[in-house]
Amino acid sequence: MSTEISGQRPGTKRIGELLVGANVIKPEALQEALQLAKKNTMPLGRILMSMGVITEKDVQIAIEAQSLMREGIISADFGIKAISVSVQNGLTLEEGFQKLGWKLPQRETLPGSELGELLRDANIVGQQMLDAALKQSRDNNLPLGRCLVLARAIPAPLLSSALTAQVLLRDGKITREQALAGLRASAKKHQPLENSLDETGAYRPNQTTIKVGDLLSSAGLVTEGDKISAIEIGLVEERQVGQVLVQSGNITDTQLDESLRLQEMVSSGRISGLEATEILRIANSRKVSIDVIFSERSQTGNEVAHANAALELLQAAGVVSKQQIGEAKKQARDGNLTTVDVLVASRLLERSIVQNAMHGLELLKDDVCSAEQIINTLKEVHERKINFTKAINDIKAQNQADEAEAAKNEQGAGWLGKLIGKKKKAD
């Protein structure tokens, strides 16, 4: 192999630099794409495709060339030349090599070797241990990561970090050097890779999204071990984690579909990751769809709003103070209870008067009584311990009697009395 072709692994160029060097994209387009990728936490290649400056095939050619550079099979200069020839002539990278008069050597690629190389180059696993684990993986048809964990070469959390590094590398979100540095820090500090990358500013995880595997494991549908194995198999076989879990029988198609729906809701900001996890967990434990849980949550939300409106009436009637309601709301949030439950448990309210207030809301909604009448009735019920229905009827009867008496007096007073009455009202 000539020196023009062979290269060194250190200092491998990034995808954007390779595409600019091969005259596939302009430097200005790369700068714009980098800003958009950082702002939207999306892979650079996807941004460039959305801008219409390259195709998915172009990105794949650049990724393949970059991989060969990392392995030291080709140099950066030769890789850039091959990318340029391949893209300009609509060829695959291998066809581009042939056009340049070079043939890609045959290589034996073992499943999981990329993971092993990351762990080895990060000085986490030695070559001897790696070779033994690769053999065990091949002989027993087990993922390499699982073999390394079983051999106690690495702990399960560190395997999870290494797999995350693979995903971020595949999506073009970090460089190989950043992945290796992050893995070393994760091994030393016993923390997730995302934390290590965040500390150096290499990668800021998106807090508004949730991975399907994490959602399923947090909700108790799959074990952490099954999730990690699915991630590893998915990386080797280029399949989605959810699809691997379905094919292995860990989850059903329906559970995967519902998990994907919840993931989309989290991404769009309609629910939080914690809410999605709880909804999936409850739906699975009760063997119902997530739609049933959403319906029940909606009904519960309406009930809570109704109860809060009842509390406003009770506050206006002097039955409970604004401060007491505020303190109860805080305790309710901390204990996952309703404000009414806290007030009743604290003996600041009786359940019966809350029900009376809710009854009053219905009367108010149907225009049977005014808000003032309901508030006065609740006050009477609280102070005199009388029946709500009797009290509201007494107040209504008294008001009707007062109105009738006023109308009678006005009618019998003649034109002068009416004039005086109007003047009094105006005063």
* pLDDT attached to residue 109: 46
Q: What is the pLDDT of residue 412?
A: 52
**Highest-scoring range by mean pLDDT, 87-101, 111-125, 351-365, 371-385:** 87-101
**CA neighbours closer than 13 Å in the CB half-sphere of residue 227:** 20
Least confident range of 19-23, 81-85, 107-111, 373-377: 107-111
Residue 256 has pLDDT above 80, yes or no: yes
pLDDT of 7 > 50? The answer is no
104-124 average pLDDT score: 75
User: Tell me: the pLDDT tens digits for 33-82?
Assistant: 888 877 765 667 778 888 889 988 888 788 788 777 766 778 889 999 99
pLDDT at 339 over 90: no
Highest mean pLDDT among 316-320, 343-347, 414-418: 316-320
Region of poorest pLDDT, from 277-286, 319-328, 396-405: 396-405
- Mean pLDDT (whole number) for 321-345: 80
Looking at residue 12, the DSSP 8-state letter turns out to be P
State the average pLDDT over residues 16-37: 90
∠ CA 111-117-119, rounded to 5°: 110
Burial of 315 (0-12, 13-18, 19+ CB in 10 A): middle
Rounded to whole angstroms, the Cα distance separating 2 from 131 reads 30
Q: Could you tell me the pTM of the whole model?
A: 0.49
Is residue 3's pLDDT more than 50? no
Pair 318, 311: CB distance under 8 Å: no
Sign of the dihedral through C-alpha 324, 325, 330, 333:
positive
Average pLDDT over residues 231-252: 85
> Measured between alpha carbons, how far is 110 from 195 in angstroms, rounded to an integer?
30
> Which of 268-277, 390-399, 402-411 has the highest mean predicted lDDT (pLDDT)?
268-277
Q: Tell me: pLDDT of 415 over 50.
A: no
Q: If pLDDT is split at 50, 70 and 90, which confidence band does 182 have?
A: very high
Closest CA to 67 of 182, 180, 203, 175: 175
Q: CA torsion 193→199→205→207, rounded to 10°?
A: 120
Say if residues 68 and 74 touch (Cβ distance below 8 Å): yes
Q: To 5 degrees, how large is the angle CA 78–CA 182–CA 204?
A: 95
Average pLDDT, the chain: 82
Confidence of residue 27 (pLDDT cuts 50, 70, 90): very high
Confidence (pLDDT) at 153: 92
- pLDDT of res. 40: 65
SS3 sequence, 264-276? HHHHCCCCCHHHH
Interval 284-309 mean pLDDT: 80
**Residue bearing tokens 């696993």:** 125
**In the predicted model, what is the mean pLDDT of residues 104-129?**
78
For the segment 140-156, the average pLDDT, to the nearest whole number, is: 86
Q: Where are the alpha helices (DSSP H) in 71-143?
A: 76-89, 93-99, 113-121, 127-140
Which pLDDT belongs to residue 71? Answer: 64
What per-residue confidence (pLDDT) applies to 361?
86
Report which of residues 380 and 24 the model is more confident about. Answer: 24
Cα–Cα distance, 128 to 394 (Å, whole number) = 92
Confidence of residue 416 (pLDDT cuts 50, 70, 90): very low
